[in-house]
């Protein structure tokens, strides 16, 4: 008989980065989740996808979660070899079953959710998974994603401030007083690489100074319950949203319409989703300002980040 199959179910939240002025540093975890079941099997790679991303289910070893799992197992083997444990080697086979609810290429952290799911699953399935602490998991996720603003809230939940140092990424988790937001998701997608490509190499000093002040104010507004008036000022951005507007004119227009009505609204991450710091009932009362063509998602701030769902399935079967 072969070795018993080992499996785990990981749940990862959607995230919204930047939140206006907090470019590449602020992030918020949201109550929209992907569920990823990972099983270590005897041979081959099998992938089943329900929902978003079904078109990439045939990528095999090239699938993002599979690549992250492999990389995380390598990292854990290195930690085991340097410590009290013994390397386990790469699993011969991997089976993925993904139920994806986070829209892809819309600025809600779908790639970060996949990366974090792979790392959390590897920590649960590797014999020495406890050797990779949360700081090491953040560093690995950031190395893979390229920036920490989405992976940080995906790992930690709540509101996060993330930054990088010579030794890797770090984060601070804060408890926001804002509990509800509304995400307006369009049909069209926008690749993060394209959105980043629209940013200039330099910006005016006045714009940089304004954003620094607004980012500090935004942290105070989100954690101190300072009200919509302050939050409207705090979400003003001069570093990235205007430069990216040509790639998502409808999103830019919606942000302006909402803000003109007093609703603190921003581009979520690299877009084109629009995030409004409000609740569904208030948005419903101004439907004419929102217009058609948007999927409205009332969401809560997710206080918990990525986690293993206990007993479903068991870690060892």
Is residue 86 within 8 A of residue 80, CB to CB? The reply is yes
Could you tell me the CA-to-CA distances from 300 to 42, 180, 281 in Å, in that order?
40, 4, 14
Binding-site residues: 103-113
The torsion angles phi and psi of 111, rounded to 5 degrees, stand at: -70, -35
Helix, strand, coil shares of the chain, percent, nearest 5, are 40, 25, 35
Binding-site residues for ATP: 103-113
3-state per-residue secondary structure call for 11-49: EEEEEEEECCCEEEEEEEEEEEEEEEEEEEECCEEEEEE
| Distance, CA of 128 to CA of 82 (rounded, Å) | 12
Beta partners for 22?
18
Beta partners for 296?
184
Helix (H) / strand (E) containing 295:
strand 294-300
């Amino acid at each position: 008989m072969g070795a018993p199959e080992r499996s785990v179910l990981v749940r990862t939240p959607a995230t919204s980065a930047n939140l206006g002025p907090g470019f590449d540093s602020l992030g918020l975890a949201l109550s929209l989740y992907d569920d990823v079941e990972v099983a270590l099997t005897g041979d081959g790679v099998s992938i089943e996808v329900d929902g978003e991303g079904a078109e990439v289910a045939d990528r095999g070893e090239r699938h993002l979660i599979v690549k992250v799992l492999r990389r995380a197992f390598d990292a854990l083997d290195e930690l085991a070899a340097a410590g009290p444990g013994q390397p386990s080697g790469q699993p011969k086979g991997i089976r993925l079953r993904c139920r994806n609810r986070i829209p892809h290429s819309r600025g809600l952290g779908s790639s970060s959710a996949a990366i974090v799911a792979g790392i959390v699953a590897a920590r649960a399935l590797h014999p020495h998974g406890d050797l990779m602490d949360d700081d090491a998991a953040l560093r690995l996720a950031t190395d893979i994603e390229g920036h920490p603003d989405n992976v940080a809230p995906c790992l930690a939940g709540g509101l996060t401030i993330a930054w990088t140092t010579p030794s890797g990424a770090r984060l601070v988790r804060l408890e926001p007083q804002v509990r509800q937001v509304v995400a307006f998701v369009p049909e069209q997608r926008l690749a993060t690489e394209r959105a980043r490509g629209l940013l200039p190499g330099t910006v005016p000093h006045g714009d940089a100074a304004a954003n620094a002040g607004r980012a500090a104010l935004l942290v105070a507004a989100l954690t101190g319950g300072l009200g919509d008036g302050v939050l409207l000022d705090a979400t003003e951005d001069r570093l990235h949203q205007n430069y990216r507007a040509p790639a998502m004119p409808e999103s830019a227009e919606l942000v302006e319409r909402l803000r003109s009505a007093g609703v603190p609204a921003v581009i979520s991450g690299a877009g084109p989703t629009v995030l409004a710091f409000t609740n569904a009932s208030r948005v419903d009362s101004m439907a004419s300002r929102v217009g058609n063509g948007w999927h409205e998602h009332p969401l809560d701030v997710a206080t918990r980040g990525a986690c293993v769902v206990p007993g479903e399935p068991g870690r060892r079967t």
